[in-house]
Chain A
Amino acid sequence: TQLLKQSPQFLSIQEGENLTVYCNSSSVFSSLQWYRQEPGEGPVLLVTVVTGGEVKKLKRLTFQFGDARKDSSLHITAAQPGDTGLYLCASAYSGAGSYQLTFGKGTKLSVIP
């Protein structure tokens, strides 16, 4: 089982600012997923990255997978109040012939209007 460390744990910013959150592991990821969770709801998948160095964009969100596949970052440009939520990274690992997802503890983002 991989241990995923997310930083920062909490982040409070003003609307319009840029921000980056991080997900790191001492082990190599086979793949990495990012989710956003709003209060009272389940996590919602944002993106899956599988190739070292991969960059994916989703509107104002940019996801990067480290070359060594041990780290990933999520950058938000011009944050909006609708971006508020808990951002979770999750890594796949193999066990008993299938893969399981291990989740980090998340970064709680608050965007203040």
Chain B
Amino acid sequence: NAGVTQTPKFQVLKTGQSMTLQCAQDMNHEYMSWYRQDPGMGLRLIHYSVGAGITDQGEVPNGYNVSRSTTEDFPLRLLSAAPSQTSVYFCASSLRRQRNYGYTFGSGTRLTVV
């Protein structure tokens, strides 16, 4: 089925380790973004991209890097994992970067940093 695919579904990291969360969409969406969801905090924007080769920071970018070499893929890199990065991470995409277009979300990656 078409949509946003996130891998892995679950991950446990030790403090200081690095890893990449994968996100791919097959809908030819222009806009992609990463959110983290924490209890009591809601969904907060980490990074976003308006097209291949273009990325920008969101509300909580520290400790994360992104790149967008193709329209389809938008990986999120944790440089040196910290317990504060324990969260559920969602990738989302939208056809256009305009207010009338809704987001399609992946099913999330649940990350625990110990």
Contacts and interface: CB of A to CB of B under 8 A. Distances in A.
Pairing of A with B: yes
Interface string B73-90: 000000000000000001
What's the interface size class on B, roughly?
20 to 34
Given A103-B42, A106-B42, A40 B107 contact: yes
A41 B107 contact: yes
B105 A44 contact: yes
Interface residues of A, number: 27
A99 interface: yes
B103 A98 contact: no
Contact of B43 (A48, A98, A99, A103): A103
28 contacts: A31-B100, A35-B103, A41-B107, A42-B4, A42-B90, A42-B106, A42-B108, A43-B43, A43-B103, A43-B105, A45-B104, A48-B100, A48-B101, A48-B102, A92-B99, A96-B56, A98-B31, A98-B50, A98-B97, A99-B97, A99-B98, A100-B33, A100-B45, A100-B58, A101-B103, A103-B35, A103-B42, A105-B41
Interface of A: 1, 30-31, 33, 35, 40-45, 48, 50, 88, 90, 92, 96-106
Interface of B: 4, 31, 33, 35, 40-43, 45, 48, 50, 56, 58-59, 90, 92, 97-108
Given A48-B100, A99-B97, 20 more contacts: A31-B99, A31-B100, A33-B103, A42-B92, A43-B90, A43-B103, A43-B105, A45-B102, A50-B100, A90-B103, A92-B99, A97-B50, A98-B50, A99-B98, A100-B45, A100-B48, A101-B45, A101-B103, A103-B42, A105-B41
Q: Which 8 A-B pairs have the closest CB atoms?
A: A42-B105, A45-B102, A92-B99, A98-B97, A105-B42, A31-B99, A103-B43, A99-B99
